[in-house]
Amino acid sequence: MSIIQDFQSPILPTWCPGCGDFAVWSALKQAFVQEGLGPTDVVLCFDIGCNSNMADKINAYVFKGLHGRVIPIAEGISLANSSIPIIAISGDGGTYDEGMQHFVHTIRSNYDITLILHNNCDFGLTTGQATPTTPIGQKMNGAVYGVVESRLNPTQLALTLGASFVAKAFTGNIPQLVSLIRASMKHKGFSYLEVLQHCPTYNSFQDHKWIAEKVYDVNTLPDYKNNDLRSAMDITDYSKEKIATGIIFEDQNSVDYLTRVPYRTGVSTLLKDEVKQYPIAEITKEFV
């Protein structure tokens, strides 16, 4: 059993007051404790951005990589050691811009990792530029006449790519966030958890109150089935007045990458424990 204090780092957060990152930071630790996981039982992978400044504010095994590249780092770790929960953390800038290809292909491959994506619709750390989720027309640093690109709908993108787990949370509802992190970790395959959050410094167009008034939990819908792709696509359309949170879609029959690899069928060891000298005589004799 672990307690919240086990995850306490001596380094204190540096986020702006009111930043949604505090909520994710807190919810992560709660989720680990509720799952009975200690600091050596998880690997946290971080990107670059305000969200990933969490890297040294949490006491656990951590890899902090490059901007946009957290997904392939997490993938590599999961291939080498699939026995440990691997959580990748990034933001809307890093993953939807710089690292979009990784997002697309990790969904196709269905590695057994969790992506917690902080979506605050702007770049914070580089002082308020637009990301793919900034609304069209919004004036931003570097887009003083307003954003001219259409707004990306990452939830629908993930759904159309065949994601096996798509969930959405809001930093104003920590108990729900904690339960969704736990559900993400339990899902076999790639879990995509998008966390809507306010950027108090650079996002005045969709602030905490605005999001709070828009969100609702899919569990409150009378007949919502989260294994139905059409329903999932329907409720996540930007034309909807309200924003759905909770588990939007989950494929209960999801088969993760390592299980799909035919030549690893029946292999119970981990790649990390397989480093040794391998015989080559059977191979070299083919060349004689």
Q: Return the residues of window 97-116 that contact other proteins according to CB under 8 A.
A: 101-102, 104-105
Cβ proximity to other proteins, 41 vs 217, nearer residue = 41
Main-chain phi, psi angles of 246, to 5 degrees: 100, -165
- Work out whether 3 is an interface residue with other proteins (CB under 8 A): no
Interacting residue with other proteins among 3, 4, 136, 261 (CB under 8 A): 261
Buried residues in 208-226 as b, exposed as e (16+ CB within 10 A)? beebeebbebbeeeeebeb
Least distance in angstroms from the C-beta of 257 to other proteins: 9
Using an 8 Å Cβ cutoff, are 20 and 118 in contact?
yes
Candidates 120-128, 142-150, 200-208, 264-272; binding stretch for other proteins (CB under 8 A):
264-272
Minimum distance from CB of 23 to other proteins (Å)?
21
158 touches other proteins (CB under 8 A): no
Characterise 263 by phi-psi region: left (phi > 0), alpha (psi -120 to 50), beta (else): alpha
- Give the separation between CA 62 and CA 46, rounded to whole angstroms: 8
CA pair distance 195, 116, nearest whole angstrom: 7
d(Cα 98, Cα 285) in Å, to the nearest integer? Answer: 46
Kindly tell me which residue out of 49, 72, 91, 124 binds other proteins, with binding defined by CB under 8 A. 72
- Contact letters (x/-) for other proteins, 185-204, by CB under 8 A? --------------------
**Member of 13, 16, 26, 64 binding other proteins (CB under 8 A):** 64
Q: In whole angstroms, give the CA distance from residue 66 to residue 59.
A: 20
16 near other proteins, rule: CB under 8 A: no
Question: If you ran DSSP here, which 8-state letter would residue 96 be given?
Answer: I
Binding positions for other proteins, rule: CB under 8 A = 9, 11, 39-41, 43, 45, 48, 53, 55-56, 59-66, 69, 72-81, 83-84, 101-102, 104-105, 261, 263-264, 267, 270-281, 283-285, 287-288
